[in-house]
Structure 1
Amino acid sequence: MPVLPSVDYGMPLWEPITIAPERTALLIIDMQYYNAARGQGFSVVMDRVEPGSSEYFDTRVERQTVPAIRSLIDQLRPLGVRMVYLCMGSQHRDLRDMPPRLRAAFRRLEAKGGVKDLFWAQGPLFRVLDDLEPAPADLVVEKRSLGGFNGSDLDDVLRRHGIESIFVTGVSTNSCVETTARDAADRGYGTVLVDDCLADYDPAWHQASLKAFHFNFGPVLRTVEDVVFATQQRATIVAPSEA
């Protein structure tokens, strides 16, 4: 059986993960207009509150994250991998179904940035980016919190479809992505972060999340090519010291 080493962030505590495409999901987190589009939603708010603070993030999303996720979708779907979109937003304009801490923080951001209904699921910013639009057979799960498992039925959806392993992509690395990925690993899913398919507002935050996840929870693969190889070959992802 082929073996693929994780990115080397030192000694890990996780067990090797063998990829079976029919039991694997590509999880695409928060790739929506409110959160992952230059000049819209959160990008506007951040730039108004702290000018220039979203430039690194917006550029990485445009040049690296979106093209890489698009490539993974196109290559993994024919192999039988399930596409799962995780989208954050409230069904209520007053955000009553979100945790109080988030509700208060989001309202402050909207007020400071002069953008209304940033996190309202009925608003135009809720939809997934056109470049990554879900296909009819894909699964779309709405969440009400940063972590995908705490504010949605994601766990039930994955288990109903026989999912055992997850490639995690999306934004932002140190927030919704890391929280969801850690929870997935704690629930027994073989969870893999895909570096090139993630983005954060600061490269140091991004790297810190990858390193911390790698030690306690699961492997990190760097590129689209690594993920496709692991899936095509039904490879086992291991720590570099075990390759």
Structure 2
Amino acid sequence: MNQHLNPNESALILVDIQNDFCHEEGACSKMGRDVSGAQAIIPQVELLMENARELNIPIVFIQMTQNEYTISDAWTNRPRPAGYKNPLDICKKDSWGAEFYKIAPKEGDIIVEKHRYSAFIGTDLDMILRNLNCKSIILTGVATNVCVESTARDGFMLDYHVAVVKDASAGYVPALHEATFGNIENNFGLALETNEIINFWSTLKSAAV
């Protein structure tokens, strides 16, 4: 855990915790997806944010947005639920659906907009993390097996230590949600519970007193 959770070299990343992915009136819910799991992770995410701020760990809000210039044939025609019609139906830029769900950045937090599953594709995330001297990324958010896992994989390929927080990540298909943690632990990094991370940080704080 020393490599993956070192407060001086880590960033807490919140992936796509937005109305269209989490709210019962959001796009995913209207397509028939069960968003209760996405709503249930908020207390754990808030607890991680609180502890991260105490340790001056950077917090990065990843925000999916779409506009007419970011969509392509491949993106439009990717596998989607039956209710999906237009890529701009999900997280259209400046829409209510693209707003964060029950969490909000504070002064000093970082917002990175993305247009694909991975938060590293077509964004400044890698540059930002390197300028912050971050070597490790701690990932939360939705959906576990899509945007969270895509970001975790790309982060590992870019030589970051990767930790995915199991009870602060949510998916819409339980089997795929759980499979992500096996993938991470077998190939890319750590899959941890919120209390494991906070207990580790608490030990460091106690040692520093």
When normalised by structure 2's length, the TM-score is: 0.88
Structure 2 gaps of 5+ residues are: none
> Superposition pairs for residues 57-206 of structure 1, below 5 Å?
58-63=35-40, 65-90=41-66, 92=67, 94=68, 96-105=69-78, 109-111=83-85, 117-129=89-101, 131-206=102-177
CA spacing shift, 1:109–1:156, aligned 2, 3 Å:
farther
Shift of 1:216: 0.7
> Superposition pairs for residues 18-37 of structure 1, below 5 Å?
18-37=4-23
Q: Find the aligned partners of 2:65 and 2:172 in 1 and give their Cα distance.
A: 20
CA RMSD of aligned residues (A): 2.3
CA spacing shift, 1:213–1:118, aligned 2, 3 Å:
same
Runs of 4+ with deviation above 4 angstroms: none
3-state SS of 2:137 partner: strand
Shift of 1:170: 0.2
Deviations for 1:39-76, whole angstroms, at most 9, x for unmatched residues?
222211x22xxxxxx23xx222223x111101111122
Higher relative contact order (CA 8 A, sep 6+): 1
Shift of 1:136: 1.9
Among 216, 220, 228, the alignment partner of 2:198 is 228
Verify the 8 A CA contact 1:117 1:123 in the aligned structure 2.
no
CA spacing shift, 1:231–1:186, aligned 2, 3 Å:
farther
Shift of 1:35: 1.1
Q: Find the aligned partners of 1:109 and 1:59 in 2 and give their Cα distance.
A: 18
Deviations for 1:86-108, whole angstroms, at most 9, x for unmatched residues?
11112x2x2x22343113447x8
Shift of 1:206: 1.0
Amino acid at match of 1:125: G
Quick one: percent identity of the two aligned structures?
26
CA spacing shift, 1:154–1:18, aligned 2, 3 Å:
closer
Shift of 1:80: 1.3
CA spacing shift, 1:104–1:193, aligned 2, 3 Å:
same
Verify the 8 A CA contact 2:114 2:123 in the aligned structure 1.
yes
Aligned length: 204
3-state SS of 2:22 partner: coil
Amino acid at match of 2:51: Q
Q: Find the aligned partners of 1:102 and 1:109 in 2 and give their Cα distance.
A: 16
Verify the 8 A CA contact 2:63 2:112 in the aligned structure 1.
yes
3-state SS of 1:162 partner: coil
